[in-house]
Amino acid sequence: MSTRETTVDKSARRVQTMFGEIAPKYDFLNNLLSFGLAKRWRRRFVRTVFARLAERSEVSERLETLDVATGTGDVIAEETRQWTRRKLADKLGVREFRPVGVDFVPQMLALARKKVQAVEFVEADGCALPFDDERFDAVTISFGLRNMVDPAKGIAEMARVCRKEGVVAILEFSPTKFPLFAPLFRFYFHRVLPAIGERLMKNRSDAYRYLPESVDAFDSSEKVLEYMRAAGLKTPTRRAMTFGVLGMFVGVKE
Ligand SMILES: C[S@@+](CC[C@H](N)C(=O)[O-])C[C@H]1O[C@@H](n2cnc3c(N)ncnc32)[C@H](O)[C@@H]1O
């Protein structure tokens, strides 16, 4: 068994219903409840992915990325922004950039399609990706892995569709152990955030109660690194961000 026993219901049906309900307010709440930090986190995440891609010895004509559990497409929007602003075609020596997003909630994908046009968004389960082996140069997931019933399978799928020397990167919350900051954050995450979320959602969804519960119930960072190694990703690393509130995991496909 690859996942820890938890009392949190992470069944696909529950997760799909919940994200379907909050989809119209997802971006607004995400920004508000993270004090605008979510944008910065994704910016750093995408920067790191492109930096790792720049280290590769073999470069193809076209750069293809896959964002799993893409939601409203924020990671892809950030990739596209950086691609243009930072003139990455020249820096990476690639002519074309083609990102693809996957999510299993159609309401989230509808918003993603509006946000980033001319990008392929596919409705599929991250644990059974409908793509050939070794197709993508980079495969990312941000705030999606802890929702999966089997995160080890999710990581194995990401690694399967990633090319050799390609990058697999994960951004995910973790229960912070930072002295002084941890109790404050716990109070915010477990009390304040669900209260605001429920109020703004007019009690139509328990998503903001699920959020802290799913973070507490999620596998340890050591376990995530273990899943990455087992999936054939060499020397995976984890970097703590914002007082350990979240971690960025990066591995390169062997
Ligand atoms: C918290 S949102 C994160 C969205 C986006 N990545 C971001 O950074 O804002 C989690 C997303 O994961 C999706 N998701 C959860 N489990 C999934 C699975 N097994 N397959 C595909 N998508 C999944 C949900 O539908 C939801 O859109």
Domains parsed from the chain with CATH numbers: 12-19+35-174+218-253 (3.40.50.150)
Distance 249 CA to ligand 1 centre (A): 17
Residues in the chain: 254
β-sheet with 120-123: strand ranges across: 120-123, 96-103, 62-68, 136-142, 162-173, 246-253, 233-241
Pocket test for ligand 1, best of 15, 30, 142 (most atoms within 8 A of CB): 15
Nearest to 86 by CA among 37, 46, 35: 46
Nearest ligand 1 atom to the CA of 126 is 20
Given this model, what pLDDT does residue 3 score? 42
Q: Is 176 left (phi over 0), alpha (psi -120 to 50) or beta?
A: beta
Query: Looking at the predicted structure, is the pLDDT value of residue 177 above 80?
Result: yes
pLDDT in tens, 39-96: 999 999 999 999 999 998 777 889 999 999 999 999 999 999 999 999 999 999 999 9
Given this model, what pLDDT does residue 9 score? 83
Band the pLDDT of 205: cuts 50, 70, 90: confident
pLDDT in tens, 11-27: 899 999 999 999 999 99
Query: Looking at the predicted structure, is the pLDDT value of residue 1 above 70?
Result: no
Given this model, what pLDDT does residue 203 score? 65
Nearest to 71 by CA among 138, 14, 141: 141
Cβ-proximal residues to 123 (8 Å cutoff; 6+ apart), any chain: 102, 103, 104, 106, 109
pLDDT in tens, 88-138: 999 999 999 999 999 999 999 999 999 999 999 999 999 999 999 999 999
Atom 4, ligand 1: residue with shortest CA distance: 71
Nearest ligand 1 atom to the CA of 30 is 9
> For residues 77 and 142, what is the distance between their CA atoms, to the nearest angstrom?
13
- Summarize the confidence of residues 204-224 as an average pLDDT: 89
Distance 220 CA to ligand 1 centre (A): 19
- Count Cβ atoms below 10 Å from residue 211 Cβ, excluding itself: 21
pLDDT in tens, 225-249: 999 999 999 999 999 999 999 999 9
Prediction pTM value: 0.94
Given this model, what pLDDT does residue 2 score? 41
